[in-house]
Amino acid sequence: MSDTLIDPVPERFLGVWQRISMEAKGKPADTTTRVYWIQTSALQADLRIPAGRPDFSGKTSLAECSSDDLLWLAQQQGIAGMTLAGGELLHRRRQVDYQPTRGRDNTHRMRFEGELLVEENMHGSVVEKWCRLAGVEGGVITLRLLEEAEADGRIVPRKGYLLVVGDYFLFVRDRPEFTRQSASLEDLFEAQDLERDDMVPFLDCEFSFGRRNGGTQPWIIELSTLPYREGKPLFAPGQFEALHAGGNALVQRGRGRNGLITRRWSIHEWSEPTTT
């Protein structure tokens, strides 16, 4: 990465973006993968869900998914972390990565074609086009997950983020399992010859995108790497408003996969009035 990438992200790149297309040399243009990207002045997150997803209706956890279901989920992508800028260059750090691709360069050249934002990798071999979504007026909230505690008091080390811009949010919760670097989760599974139950911890990585107030209910999840989370609220009614200070952090209590959980968040940015 160039040493010149030391600036905050320019305002023209901030907001909530939906990808229109991706063109890679030697491949047909991809216009069917569902991709959303939230960019703030210092943090970013995106998730990418391929077309042709199996039917996950009726399933409530990864443990209920078949081996074929899990192998399909292994194709998904998502990253989150810091962003550095320099002129028309953006570098997105993979501090949470759905795929085991730590260390892969993620520096791109950015330019506008009318209202579309065009992103091109440094080799010119991949070009993505984005449109900015409406409904981004309002404040920006970005939180970092410090720790997650189970009902029995056990502390689960996790990385995570909550990025909120206007009416949109993207929630990120890293997996509990460390993944060694590999070209993809599919390659990792094949190399380790994993059985179905052994795949589950590697796929327990959540990237959930949704609306705070503009959906069918507040904080509704519209698209997620955990399909059974879609259509459900990220926060129960009043829970986000009830976030309260615990030392230098916000404390959230709610229900997780294994019962009650407590999450401690640090505030990275909060540019709308704090609820009291």
SS3 188: helix
In order of their start, the domains of the chain are: 11-132 (2.40.128.280), 140-270 (no CATH)
Q: What is the pLDDT of residue 274?
A: 60
Q: What confidence score (pLDDT) does residue 245 get?
A: 76
11: closest CA among 152, 170, 183, 136?
Answer: 136
The 3-state DSSP class for residue 191 equals: helix
CB-facing half-sphere around the CA of 260: CA atoms within 13 A: 6
Give the C-alpha distances (Å, rounded to integers) separating 16 from 85, 169, 172.
18, 9, 15
CA distance 35 to 222: 12
Looking at residue 39, its pLDDT comes to: 97
Given this model, what pLDDT does residue 260 score?
A: 82
Beta strands in the chain (DSSP E): 15-24, 34-39, 43-49, 77-86, 89-92, 96-97, 107-113, 116-121, 126-132, 140-149, 155-156, 160-165, 168-173, 206-211, 220-224, 244-246, 249-256, 259-270
Per-residue pLDDT of the chain (276 residues), as tens digits, is 444 777 889 999 999 999 999 999 989 999 999 999 999 999 999 999 999 999 999 999 999 999 999 999 999 999 999 999 998 999 999 999 999 986 677 899 999 999 999 999 999 999 999 999 998 888 899 999 988 888 787 887 789 999 999 999 999 999 977 788 888 999 999 988 999 999 999 999 999 999 999 888 899 999 999 999 999 999 988 888 888 777 668 888 876 666 788 888 999 999 876 654
Q: Left, alpha or beta for 64 (phi > 0: left; psi -120 to 50: alpha)?
A: alpha
